[in-house]
């Protein structure tokens, strides 16, 4: 299995090198040169299998000979052993034909743990074998950062720096990143928004001198391994509601487009997915684009679902690559236009996108109302991101096709917004009860590439 860049000018890589490389050297994102498929019989055989077994069967074809079967199975087993639910990703029925996929039973209470816990194991195995160390830098709107710190803290061969937008994440999210005591993890509060953090991260990858000097690696969803691990729960959940014998639709609270793109990969692999519904908050650039209005950046408006306060949706580049018939020149041109504010999508590419994706948005008031009504009707307490999904799913139901909405975070990560909407203050799990008493360690930094690079160079272990 080979991986190619969406911009066509970076070397083809193996799975291992793709995973350790992060952003392609031409600024693009790596994707598999072809998508392996599973037969209907392969998918039907997943019924009743453990999450770990389904994970092995879904991901194995993408990994090539990077890991032996035994190594790969070991990584998967260790990755999910610490989850707080034996099903790992349990399905809860909300009403007739509408299901919630709870993806928040991992160590940091968000769906990011599914990929990050696995990536942590895969990095460790590959780096130990190669005798190498890397510097991981991540950009986060709240959840990727804590998941990355949890997955890599205390490891000998990795330093982790996480850039988050100062004052724009919840207190629980911040404390999850600033309270770990291991010296190889560093939280950096950037004066800017998430798009600034992500842009500076990409600047670092595009600065080859810096990139090579610190052996930069990325664990944002620019890393193909992140997307791949998220494909698994589309299979596990769809099979539970009748796939491959019936079609299933998914609604996905969306920001950086990694999670919904994983759903698209599942569909390309043969999972009978009818609609993939992109659900955005008031930062609705993706909804507007998928409705044919072009991709044009505006200002990010802080919301009660802060993890989705994003204008430059990184993985949309992967969706565009396929929609433009894998024309890397066209994609590179669009990404150049994006630097100047945005681009229009060609009619052909738009039709291809709309074949797979629907979209909708939820206002702040609709998000709050959905938290309240869902609690009243079902006893499920949603986080604001999951509530965006549930609201939008409600607008896209088709009789006879089950709809699965992804619940991407635990409500306790956003207690203020949840309390305001529901009257309930969701408690943290017992292992995190003292989060508010733990000492914080964080460095405030300007939104300035040189300052960030200096800080990182000065704090990596030699
Ligand atoms: C809780 C939560 N929900 C939804 C999203 C959006 O996911 P994606 O960026 O993969 O579209 C994020 C951020 O990634 C998140 O942290
Ligand atoms: N919402 C994310 C933003 C980064 O997304 P990623 O999937 O590219 O890591 C976050 O919580 O940090």
State whether the beta carbon of 145 lies less than 6 angstroms from ligand 1. no
Catalytic, out of 2, 9, 112, 413 = 112
The token pair at 133 is 């160390």
Question: CB within 6 Å of ligand 2 — which residues?
Answer: 140-145, 220-221, 255-256, 258, 307, 314
**What's the mean pLDDT in 389-406?**
97
The rounded Å distance from CA 31 to ligand 1 centre is: 20
Peptide linkage before 197 cis (omega within 30 of 0):
no
State whether the beta carbon of 303 lies less than 6 angstroms from ligand 1. no
- Measured from the Cβ of residue 41, the count of other Cβ atoms closer than 10 Å reads 8
Residue 369, pLDDT score: 98
State whether the beta carbon of 120 lies less than 6 angstroms from ligand 1. no
**What's the mean pLDDT in 17-25?**
97
Residue 461, pLDDT score: 87
The rounded Å distance from CA 461 to ligand 2 centre is: 26
Strand partners, 407: 102
Kindly report each contact of residues 202-207 with a partner whose C-beta sits within 8 Å and lies 24 or more positions away, as own/partner.
Answer: 202/23, 202/27, 203/449, 204/137, 204/449, 204/452, 204/453, 204/456, 205/22, 205/23, 205/27, 206/23, 206/27, 207/449, 207/453
Ligand 2, pocket-test mutation among 30, 145, 195, 307, most atoms within 8 A of CB: 307
The rounded Å distance from CA 128 to ligand 1 centre is: 30
Strands (E), 183-228: 185-190, 216-217
Per-residue b or e along 54-88, where b marks 16 or more CB atoms closer than 10 Å to that residue's CB:
bbbbbbeebbeebbeeebbbebbebbbeebeeeeb
State whether the beta carbon of 121 lies less than 6 angstroms from ligand 1. no
The rounded Å distance from CA 416 to ligand 2 centre is: 21
For a pLDDT cut of 90, what percent of the chain falls above it? 99
* CA angle, 39 then 43 then 47, to 5°: 160
Atom of ligand 1 nearest to the CA of 255: 11
pLDDT digits (tens, 9 = 90+) for 312-354: 999 999 999 999 999 999 999 999 999 999 999 999 999 999 9
- Is pLDDT above 80 for 462? no
State whether the beta carbon of 305 lies less than 6 angstroms from ligand 1. no
The DSSP symbol for 369 reads H
State whether the beta carbon of 452 lies less than 6 angstroms from ligand 1. no
Identify the residue whose tokens are 């194995």. Answer: 60
Residue 125 CA: distances (Å) to CA of 69, 78, 106, 208, 275: 13, 12, 21, 25, 37
pLDDT digits (tens, 9 = 90+) for 75-104: 999 999 999 999 999 999 999 999 999 999
Beta-strand pair 216-217/248-253: unpaired
Residue 419, pLDDT score: 98
ipTM of predicted complex: 0.99
Average pLDDT, the chain: 97
- Measured from the Cβ of residue 316, the count of other Cβ atoms closer than 10 Å reads 26
pLDDT digits (tens, 9 = 90+) for 406-453: 999 999 999 999 999 999 999 999 999 999 999 999 999 999 999 999
Residue 50, pLDDT score: 98
The upper half-sphere exposure of residue 2, i.e. CA atoms within 13 Å in the direction of its Cβ, equals 6
Three-state secondary structure call for residue 199: helix
Residue 413 is a catalytic residue: no
Element (H, E) at 391: helix 384-394
- Topology of the domain comprising 91-110+225-422: Rossmann fold (3.40.50)
- The CA distance from 397 to 99, in Å, is 11
The rounded Å distance from CA 297 to ligand 2 centre is: 18
Closest among 91, 88, 115, 80 to 405, alpha carbons compared: 91
| Alpha-helix residue ranges (DSSP H) falling in 241-361 | 258-268, 285-288, 316-323, 328-339, 347-356
User: pLDDT band at 105, cuts 50/70/90?
Assistant: very high
State whether the beta carbon of 283 lies less than 6 angstroms from ligand 1. no
Atom of ligand 1 nearest to the CA of 142: 16
DSSP string, 392-431: HHHTT-BTTB-EEEEE-B-GGGSHHHHHHHHS--PPPPGG
């Amino acid at each position: 299995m080979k991986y190619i860049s969406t911009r066509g000018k970076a070397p083809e890589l193996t799975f291992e090198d793709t995973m350790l490389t992060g952003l392609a050297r031409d600024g693009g994102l790596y994707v598999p040169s072809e998508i392996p498929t599973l037969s209907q019989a392969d998918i039907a055989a997943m019924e009743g299998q453990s999450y770990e077994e389904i994970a092995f069967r879904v991901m194995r074809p993408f990994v090539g000979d990077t890991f032996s079967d035994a190594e790969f199975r070991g990584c998967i087993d260790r990755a999910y052993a610490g989850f707080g639910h034996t099903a790992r990703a349990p399905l809860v029925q909300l009403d007739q034909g509408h299901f919630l996929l709870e993806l928040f039973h991992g160590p940091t209470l968000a769906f990011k743990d599914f990929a990050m816990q696995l990536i942590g194991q895969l990095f460790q195995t590959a780096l130990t074998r190669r005798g190498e160390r890397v510097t991981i830098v991540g950009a986060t709107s709240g959840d990727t950062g804590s998941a990355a710190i949890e997955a890599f803290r205390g490891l000998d061969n990795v330093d982790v720096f996480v850039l988050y937008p100062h004052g724009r994440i919840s207190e629980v999210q911040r404390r999850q990143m600033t309270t770990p005591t291991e010296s190889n993890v560093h939280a950096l509060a950037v004066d800017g928004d998430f798009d600034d953090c992500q842009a500076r991260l990409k600047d670092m990858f595009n600065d080859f001198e810096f990139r090579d000097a610190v052996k930069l690696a990325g664990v944002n969803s620019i890393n193909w391994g992140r997307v791949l691990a998220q494909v698994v729960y589309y299979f596990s959940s769809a099979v539970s509601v009748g796939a491959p014998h019936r079609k299933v639709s998914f609604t996905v609270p969306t920001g950086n487009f990694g999670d919904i793109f994983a759903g698209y990969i599942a569909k390309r692999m043969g999972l009978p997915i009818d609609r993939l519904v992109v659900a955005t908050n008031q930062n609705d650039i993706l909804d507007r684009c998928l409705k044919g209005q072009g991709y044009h950046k505006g200002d990010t408006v802080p919301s009660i679902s802060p993890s989705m306060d994003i204008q430059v949706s990184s993985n949309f580049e992967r969706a565009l690559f396929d929609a433009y018939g894998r024309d890397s020149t066209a994609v590179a041109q669009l990404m150049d236009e994006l630097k100047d504010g945005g681009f229009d999508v060609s009619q052909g590419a738009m039709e291809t996108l709309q074949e797979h994706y629907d979209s909708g948005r939820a206002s702040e008031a609709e998000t709050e109302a959905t938290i309240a009504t869902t609690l009243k009707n079902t006893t499920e307490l949603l986080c604001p991101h999951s509530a965006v999904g549930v609201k939008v799913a409600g607008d896209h139901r088709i009789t006879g096709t089950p709809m699965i909405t992804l619940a991407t975070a635990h409500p306790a990560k956003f207690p203020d917004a949840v309390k305001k909407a529901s009257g309930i203050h969701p408690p943290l799990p017992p292992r995190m009860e003292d989060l508010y008493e733990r000492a914080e360690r964080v460095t405030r930094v300007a939104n300035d590439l040189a300052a960030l690079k200096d800080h990182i160079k000065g704090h990596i272990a030699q």
